[in-house]
């Protein structure tokens, strides 16, 4: 048994003994992947059926639903529209006990690209569902095109050697979102090559080794900031999801998901919705 294996073994046996040492009747309140994954799957099933009622058993008493940065009755939400989901990817944050799921439903009758952060309480119940739901009129929206690009990308779990600590992932995402309001923020971004940005349905790269995410970054750093940020971080996927208010474009509801590979920015996915109006700068 190597040193690392020994450490992992020692740590897990500590965790097991800590769990089994709980007083009789007390329940462990540690966030776990099964709870997060089951809830994300139920969310996908509810969206596919167009029926949020099926989520009721897992919602906490203080549950709140938010869509495009506005609190909304879940019974009047996008979850009431049956969507033909052709892509979903969920990332898991066991520290914040939350998930982020990217959803693409391109069918012409009801095209949507949705980002959803689901947060859980210690008992596993869902305390909030927070969605950025983009459709026709949203920034650079074309779900068919988005799907084509996303399907061609590789977002497998990263080998240990390619992972970054959660603080590094979050700082990279924050620095990126700071570029609109901070003239030196771009210096703090671990730019990588290749790097591909999927902004709505607009793609900056075609997979060439010299592709960069720098084309089109803000040159005006005196714009209104991106505020009210909410995070989900997954080290194994190298990903951070950040929702915010895109103040400099019609106070839009915005989702950015970043992926770092080996500490360098590899992918950026964005979704931006402008209160049902046509998004324009
Ligand atoms: C995961 O958490 C839930 C809710 O707290 C709990 O009921 C379940 O037993 C846990 N599962 C594991 C494998 O720890
Ligand atoms: C969306 O993209 C698809 C695939 O690239 C294209 O065929 C289609 O014309 C586009 N739709 C619109 C409304 O631009
Ligand atoms: C601007 O960004 C740089 C790099 O991330 C950071 O060190 C600095 O504190 C930021 N300035 C402000 C005013 O937030
Ligand atoms: C930068 O953005 C601010 C805020 O929108 C605006 O007032 C200013 O004119 C812009 N500067 C340039 C050079 O476009």
d(CA 68, CA 16): 41
pLDDT: which is higher, 149 or 18 = 149
Q: Does the CB atom of residue 171 touch ligand 3 within 6 A?
A: no
Task: Give the 3-state DSSP-derived string for 173-227, with helices as H, strands as E and coil as C.
Answer: HHHHHHCCCCCCHHHHCCEEEEEEEEECCEECCCCCCCCCCCCCCCCCCCCCCEE
Per-residue pLDDT at 15 exceeds 60: no
pLDDT in tens, 93-152: 999 999 999 999 999 999 999 999 999 998 999 999 999 999 999 999 999 999 999 999
Report which of 179, 144, 77, 135 is spatially closest to residue 274, judged by C-alpha positions. Answer: 135
Q: Which helix (H) or strand (E) holds 56?
A: none
- What pLDDT is recorded for position 26? 41
pLDDT in tens, 186-203: 999 999 999 999 999 999
Mean pLDDT computed over every residue of the chain: 91
- What pLDDT is recorded for position 28? 53
Q: Does the CB atom of residue 125 touch ligand 2 within 6 A?
A: no
Among 11-25, 73-87, 208-222, top mean pLDDT goes to 73-87
Per-residue pLDDT at 165 exceeds 70: yes
Q: Residue 194, preceding bond cis, omega within 30 degrees? A: yes
Sheet holding 226-234, edge to edge: 202-203, 191-199, 264-273, 252-261, 239-246, 226-234
pLDDT: which is higher, 248 or 210 = 248
Per-residue pLDDT at 235 exceeds 80: yes
Q: Does the CB atom of residue 142 touch ligand 2 within 6 A?
A: yes
Of the chain, the percentage scoring pLDDT greater than 70 comes to: 89
Cβ atoms of residues 164 and 260 within 8 Å? yes
Q: Does the CB atom of residue 123 touch ligand 1 within 6 A?
A: yes
d(CA 168, CA 112): 31
d(CA 103, CA 116): 8
Report which of 214, 222, 226 is spatially closest to residue 251, judged by C-alpha positions. Answer: 226
DSSP secondary structure string for all residues of 122-158: TTS-EEEEEEEEE-TTSTT--HHHHHHHHHHS--PPP
For the entire predicted model, the pTM comes to 0.90
At 17, is the pLDDT very low, low, confident or very high (cuts 50, 70, 90)?
very low
Choice from 180, 181, 222, 246 to test ligand 4 binding pocket (greatest atom count within 8 A of CB): 222
Q: Which of 9-13, 58-62, 175-179, 276-280 has the lowest mean pLDDT?
A: 9-13
User: How would you class 172 by CB atoms within 10 Å of its CB: exposed for 0-12, middle for 13-18, buried for 19 or more?
Assistant: buried
Q: Which atom of ligand 2 is nearest to the CA of 142?
A: 1
For ligand 1, atom 10, which residue shows the shortest CA distance? 32
Per-residue pLDDT at 16 exceeds 70: no
Q: Which helix (H) or strand (E) holds 255?
A: strand 252-261
Question: Kind of pairing, strands 126-134 and 59-67?
Answer: parallel
d(CA 189, CA 163): 16
Q: Is 166 helix (H, G, I), strand (E, B) or coil?
A: helix
Per-residue pLDDT at 82 exceeds 70: yes
Which domains does the chain carry?
6-151 (3.10.450.50), 160-273 (3.10.450.50)
Q: Which atom of ligand 4 is nearest to the CA of 221?
A: 1
At 67, is the pLDDT very low, low, confident or very high (cuts 50, 70, 90)?
very high
> Can you name the residues that pair with 196 across neighbouring β-strands?
267
Per-residue pLDDT at 209 exceeds 80: no
Sheet holding 98-105, edge to edge: 70-71, 59-67, 126-134, 112-120, 98-105, 87-93
């Amino acid at each position: 048994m190597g040193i690392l294996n020994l450490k992992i073994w020692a740590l897990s046996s500590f965790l097991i003994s800590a769990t089994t040492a709980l007083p009789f009747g007390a329940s462990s309140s540690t966030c776990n992947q099964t709870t997060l994954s089951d809830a994300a799957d139920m969310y996908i099933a509810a969206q596919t059926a167009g029926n949020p009622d099926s989520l009721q058993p897992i919602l906490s008493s203080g549950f709140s639903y938010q869509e495009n940065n506005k609190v909304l009755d879940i019974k009047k939400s996008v979850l009431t529209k049956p969507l033909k989901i052709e892509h979903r990817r969920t990332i898991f944050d066991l520290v914040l006990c939350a998930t982020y799921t990217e959803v693409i439903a391109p069918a012409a009758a009801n095209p949507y690209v949705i980002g959803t952060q689901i947060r859980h309480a210690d008992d596993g119940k869902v305390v909030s569902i927070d969605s950025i739901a983009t459709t026709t009129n949203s920034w650079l929206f074309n779900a068919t095109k988005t799907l084509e690009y996303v399907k061609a990308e590789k977002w497998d779990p990263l080998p240990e050697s390619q992972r970054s600590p959660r603080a590094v992932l979050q700082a990279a995402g924050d620095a990126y979102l700071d570029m609109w309001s901070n003239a030196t923020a771009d210096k703090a971004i671990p730019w990588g090559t290749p790097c591909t940005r999927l902004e709505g349905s607009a793609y900056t790269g075609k997979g060439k080794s010299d592709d960069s995410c720098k084309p089109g970054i803000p040159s005006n750093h005196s714009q209104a900031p991106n505020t009210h940020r909410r995070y989900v971080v997954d080290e194994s996927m190298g990903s951070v999801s950040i929702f915010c208010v895109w103040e400099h474009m019609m106070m839009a509801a915005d989702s950015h998901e970043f992926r770092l590979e080996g500490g360098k920015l590899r992918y950026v996915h964005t979704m931006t919705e402008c209160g049902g109006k046509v998004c324009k700068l």
